[in-house]
């Protein structure tokens, strides 16, 4: 690739983790840089400890980072706060990102109408290349 790191958005689901083997292939034998990104809500809900949410996100990304580093990849992690789409786009624009890798969850019908597609919105609003993996 040689055009910057691969930004991998993960929401914590097994579905999203299906993108990891594909990213390993994209990063190739030269072990290109990978940035794992998780976005957490900046809002506090009654009964929810925001510190615990951040700690869980850190542990989650650390586990994936350790697996990729064991294979020789240069990996860093980032946790951002706010709206997932905005944070993906902002991080990609502000850093040395050459490609955004994201899973498309395969929502259709009324769910897509009501919530939209995160992957679709990222694709429409970035100038970076996007690698989509269907996870339906």
Q: Residue 26 corresponds to which tokens in the numbers above?
A: 């994209």
Taking residues 72-83, report their average pLDDT: 92
Residue pair 77/71 in contact (Cβ under 8 Å)? The answer is no
Per-residue confidence (pLDDT) for residue 30, from 0 to 100: 64
Q: What is the CATH number of the domain that holds 75?
A: 3.40.50.620
Highest mean pLDDT among 44-48, 82-86, 112-116: 82-86
Which residue reads 């970035």 in tokens?
126
Three-class DSSP category at 76: strand
Q: Which residues pair with 80 in a beta bridge?
A: 39
Residue 26 has pLDDT above 60, yes or no: yes
Domain that holds residue 101: 5-134
Number of domains comprising the chain:
1
Confidence of residue 136 (pLDDT cuts 50, 70, 90): low
Q: Torsion angle of alpha carbons 72, 78, 79, 83, nearest 10°? A: -120
């Amino acid at each position: 690739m040689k055009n910057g790191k691969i930004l991998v958005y993960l929401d914590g689901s097994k579905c999203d983790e299906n993108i990891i083997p594909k990213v390993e292939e994209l990063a190739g034998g030269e072990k290109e840089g990978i940035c794992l990104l998780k976005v957490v809500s900046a809002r506090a809900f009654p009964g929810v400890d925001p510190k615990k949410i951040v700690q869980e996100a850190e542990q989650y990304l650390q586990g994936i980072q350790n697996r990729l580093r064991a294979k020789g990849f240069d990996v860093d992690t980032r946790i951002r706060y706010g709206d997932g789409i905005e944070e993906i786009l902002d991080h990609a624009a502000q850093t040395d990102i050459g490609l955004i890798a994201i899973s498309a969850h395969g929502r259709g019908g009324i769910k897509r109408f009501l919530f939209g597609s995160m992957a679709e919105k990222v694709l429409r609003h970035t100038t970076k290349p996007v690698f989509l993996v269907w996870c339906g």
